[in-house]
Amino acid sequence: MAEIVSLDELQNQSMLSMYGLVDRNASNEEVSHSPGISLIPTSKCCCKHKVTTVACLIEAINSVYDEKSPNHSNIWTERKAKIYEILNKIEFSPTELSKYIHFDSAIPYTRNLISTDHKNYTLLLLCWGAGRESKIHDHPCQGCFVRTISGSIAESIYTVNANKEIVFSRSNTYPAGLTSFMNDTIGLHKIGNPDPTQGAVSMHLYVPPYETCKIWQDAGVKMADAQEGRICHYSEYGQRTANPCACSGNEMYYI
């Protein structure tokens, strides 16, 4: 008897075979440091030229917070530059992220926890269905770094006008290999997969972690019309959670 494979399984298998990342050494955010000088602390698995494994990536991120900065007034600027460098040096093999890739056609995207120290950061892999997106939301933290792993990620940025209404400002598209950054000083945003035919995968680093955020249905609504979105994980550390679809309504559109 032929094996029956679901559409979600086919999507997962397809993404595993095609998500290979190309580091284009590009970013839409300005990061100031001397050319050719690595900001990443040297370690046994994390060299200054590239980050090739998830273990190396986690070690490099932890090292950013383990270091004691002599300039406490500028510590976030220093950490932000180091995190950018780390993410832009990712060169994973096509199978390195396979245990974290899960698609589910019942929801717009899945959030898959890779690592967290429960204090400074949370690292996730988001798997987006074809043509699916988040709702407009804020970031109650210092910010979120997004690295496109496969496909493209589209971003719509919103600001607030004099009437306290959310208005569209601009849009960006980030193909595989690009890293972007967002926080509330830049604006609100929604992100998603613009391709109507195939899935996309993005890596998100939230600093520090948070459990809830504010979401809005669409542009034109008042800031005061925000609803609460709760963070849910479809999988944690490569293992499916007991009830990944327990979130409903607003909670499905967490980010």
d(CA 105, CA 189): 23
Q: Is 189 annotated as a binding residue?
A: yes
Nearest to 64 by CA among 41, 31, 34: 41
Per-position pLDDT tens, the chain of length 255: 433 334 455 455 555 444 433 333 333 333 333 333 334 444 555 556 899 999 999 999 999 998 776 667 788 999 999 999 999 999 999 899 999 999 999 889 999 999 999 999 999 999 999 999 999 998 989 899 999 999 999 999 999 999 999 999 999 999 999 999 999 999 999 999 999 999 999 999 999 998 889 999 999 999 999 998 888 899 999 999 876 555 554 444 444
Pinpoint the alpha helices (H) of 19-120: 54-66, 75-88
Nearest to 54 by CA among 84, 25, 86: 86
Fold held by 105-253: Jelly Rolls (2.60.120)
CB 253 within 8 A of CB 174: no
Q: What is the pTM of this model?
A: 0.80
CB 113 within 8 A of CB 162: no
Q: Is 240 helix (H, G, I), strand (E, B) or coil?
A: strand
Question: In sequence order, what are the residues at sequence separation of 6 or more whose Cβ sits closer than 8 angstroms to the Cβ of residue 247?
Answer: 230, 232, 254
Cβ–Cβ contacts within 10 Å for residue 18, how many?
14
Question: In sequence order, what are the residues at sequence separation of 6 or more whose Cβ sits closer than 8 angstroms to the Cβ of residue 99?
Answer: 238
Q: What phi, psi does 67 have (nearest 5°)? A: -70, 145
Q: List the chain domain ranges.
A: 105-253
Which residue type, as a one-letter code, is found at position 155?
E
d(CA 219, CA 12): 33
Instruction: Give Dmax (Cα) for the chain.
Output: 66
Q: Is 118 annotated as a binding residue?
A: no
